[in-house]
Amino acid sequence: MLASLFVSLAVFQVASTSTQESPPAEPVSSKEIVAVESDEITADARMIVDRYINATGGRAGWSSVKAIQGNGTLDIPLAGITGTAAYVVTPDLYRNTFRMTGGPIQDASIITGRNGDVVWQLSGENEQYTGKLIEGAERLRNLRQYQFNQMLDLEKNFLRVELVDIEEIEGSRAFKILMVPRESPQSKEYRFFDQESNLIVKTMVDDGTGRVQEAYFDSYKQFGPVKLHTRTKRMTGGQVLMTIATPEILINKPVPESFEEMPLEIKVLLGEKKVSPPVTKPE
């Protein structure tokens, strides 16, 4: 059960907004949108992303961020599961923790982490965890996603970035931008930028296997120099998979020292720790 939950509970990324009023978007006709097959970042797509960056605090605001911590709740309605969600992000560290109960599980946890270049996962119930090292393309994808804001360096993170359409998202028109990740050229990630607010209001990810996941972002609020969404609704197959609300967000506050250390289960997998077999008592 936990394994399938982890596949579904994709780690949410930080998207954001700003206190300053966003500059009005110049209208773009759908007739002007031309698909580009070569690896490049088109000028119109870059302009839209730059507006998003300005709307979320600007490059100066983002450069002042050294740590983000969020706390809130999660709800998986189809399974009758509720719980808590917490995350910590720094330039070298990431920790995302889901603690869940209800339906078929009780006191279950899924913890995803990064310490330097090592990406890992713990899952289990009642504080009994199974560890896993994340490797290959999945590791590279996670390292990309665990940045403060992927949009700040398009060349580093994506092979192609282009405006492909204009769609209506929950009553508002949004630019649909295709972004092809460098670590996974067969994947397609679409981000939808609201024309009025310039904020990301939706993402759609096609990992190349036929599985498409959607996420909606709202309830943006200002936290220090940047603005972040505080609610994420993840969907698959037209149904709400999970809703995450993180109204409590701290910027540049000290991160728990314990997070600097990888969990014992991960150290064992890396060969840094050895676990002694249980001692059997003589009969």
For the chain, the straight-line distance linking the first and the last C-alpha, in angstroms and rounded, comes to 38
Dist. CA 255–CA 103, nearest whole Å? 33
Model pTM score = 0.83
Place of tokens 């939706």: 202
Q: What superfamily would CATH give domain 37-270?
A: Lipoprotein localisation LolA/LolB/LppX (2.50.20.10)
Q: Where are the domains of the chain?
A: 37-270
pLDDT computed for residue 143 by the predictor: 95
pLDDT, tens only, 244-278: 999 999 999 999 999 999 999 999 999 986 655 55
Q: Specify the 3-state DSSP secondary structure of 120.
A: strand
CA atoms within 13 A on the CB side of 191: 24
pLDDT computed for residue 238 by the predictor: 83
Which stretches in the chain have pLDDT values below 70?
A: 1-39, 273-283
Burial bucket for residue 26 (CB in 10 Å: 0-12, 13-18, 19+): exposed
pLDDT computed for residue 273 by the predictor: 66
